[in-house]
Amino acid sequence: MTTTVTTVMMTARRGVGRGRGGGRATTTRVGAAAAATASGNEDDDDDDDDDGKVVEKFIEQLRRHEKEAVRMTMANESRKIIDTNTTGTLSTIGNSKSAGAVKGFPCAGVVGYASDARGAPTFALSAMSQHTRDVMEDPRATLTVTSEEFESVADGRVSLSGLVRLIEDEEERREAREAYLKRHPGAYWVDFGDFSWFKMTDIAGCRIVGGFARAGSVSASEYEGTTRDPVAGFSRPVCGHMNADHGDALIAMAKRYAGLECDSVEMRSIDALGMNCRVTKRGETFSLRLPFESPAMDRKAVKEQIVLMTKAAAAE
């Protein structure tokens, strides 16, 4: 099933993320107020009050913008997070033979993986691994993956649940190995005799937190109806270039497209529909979505959209 541009462009109206931990960062202003009290400088108190009013006004405008900003559907955002990462936390059910005291409990550990063309994770698991013993007895499992730019709980993560089964078909094993080594080029150990190939099949669905105040569930049919985002894989070089060389342009774009006077803007990731940024105002940090003027389906189109938006912002 192919995801249409119309489906991808569905708008999520969930509010605005604030701060790296999902809340307002107030340490700077509290510290300034305490210093003013200690020194008896009432002008400092007035300045602090002014800062507070400026930030509150900024937040209200940011909320209005984020409410209408075009972004990926929850299903497509889940697929993007799975496709753009190589490690996650695999939770299995402790088996009856060797799990001991954690028999029947969820048992989690960090593993490498690669997603196939349909977004299904594949794993190279050792016969000595407790995870392998778990899924051979009970294939139910959940893979939890954080977004590529993850730094705190204000950032995106997804938990994909399904059945992790041994790949028995020789051609499918070959494809799994090829995909895995493409994502993990130094993983020579996958050819050791105690390693076997597994895939998460019969996906039950997933839970996603796309950032502060943006969370939900995605059904199996919704997830399986997605396709790989055509530009998400270019996030690192595109964002690195913009942040290093075009910080002023990003500030101008925030003003032009969101009506926000930011102290700084950092581009953190891209997808076919736009840019995800982190902005600061008077020492406080917020998340900002800057949609492209039209979808970008390849790297050349991303450059064209950014140049178009840069020029439009410069002309203000």
Per-residue pLDDT tens digits for 220-239:
999 999 999 999 999 999 99
For residue 2, the model assigns a pLDDT of 41
Q: What is the pLDDT of residues 249-278, one digit of tens each?
A: 999 999 999 999 999 999 999 999 999 999
Kindly tell me the sign of the dihedral angle through the C-alpha atoms of 75, 84, 233, 15: positive
Please compute the mean of the pLDDT values over residues 182-192 and round it to a whole number. 97
CA-wise closest residue to 301 among 273, 277, 268: 273
Same CATH topology for 16-25+59-71+229-316 and 76-224? no
Q: For residue 44, name the pLDDT band (cuts at 50, 70, 90).
A: low
As to burial, measured by CB atoms within 10 angstroms (0-12 exposed, 13-18 middle, 19+ buried), residue 171 is exposed
**Does 148 score more than 80 pLDDT?**
yes
CB 146 within 8 A of CB 209: no
Kindly tell me the sign of the dihedral angle through the C-alpha atoms of 24, 156, 232, 295: negative
As to burial, measured by CB atoms within 10 angstroms (0-12 exposed, 13-18 middle, 19+ buried), residue 15 is middle
| CATH superfamily name and code, 76-224 | Electron Transport, Fmn-binding Protein; Chain A (2.30.110.10)
For residue 49, the model assigns a pLDDT of 75
Please compute the mean of the pLDDT values over residues 193-202 and round it to a whole number. 96
| Fold designation for 16-25+59-71+229-316 | Split barrel-like (3.20.180)
CA-wise closest residue to 81 among 209, 175, 201, 204: 209
How far is the C-alpha of 257 from the C-alpha of 38, rounded, in Å? 42
How far apart are the two ends of the chain, measured CA to CA in Å? 42
Token pair of 198 as six digits: 């597994």
pTM: 0.83
Comparing 51 with 238, the larger pLDDT belongs to 238
SS (H, E, C) the chain: CCCCHHHHCCCCCCCCCECCCCCCCCHHHHHHHHHHHHHCCHHHHHHHHHHHHHHHHHHHHHHHHHHHCCCCCHHHHHHHHHHCCCEEEEEEECCCCCCHHHCCCEEEEEEECEECCCCCEEEEEECCCHHHHHHHHCCEEEEEEECCCCCCCCCCEEEEEEEEEECCCHHHHHHHHHHHHHHCCCCHHHHCCCEEEEEEEEEEEEEEEEECCEEEEEEHHHHHCCCCCCCHHHHHHHHHHHHHHCHHHHHHHHHHHHCCCCCEEEEEEEECCEEEEEEEECCEEEEEEEECCCCCCCHHHHHHHHHHHHHHHHCC
Other CB atoms within a 10 A radius of the CB of residue 273 amount to 25
Q: For residue 43, name the pLDDT band (cuts at 50, 70, 90).
A: low
Domain borders along the chain are 16-25+59-71+229-316, 76-224
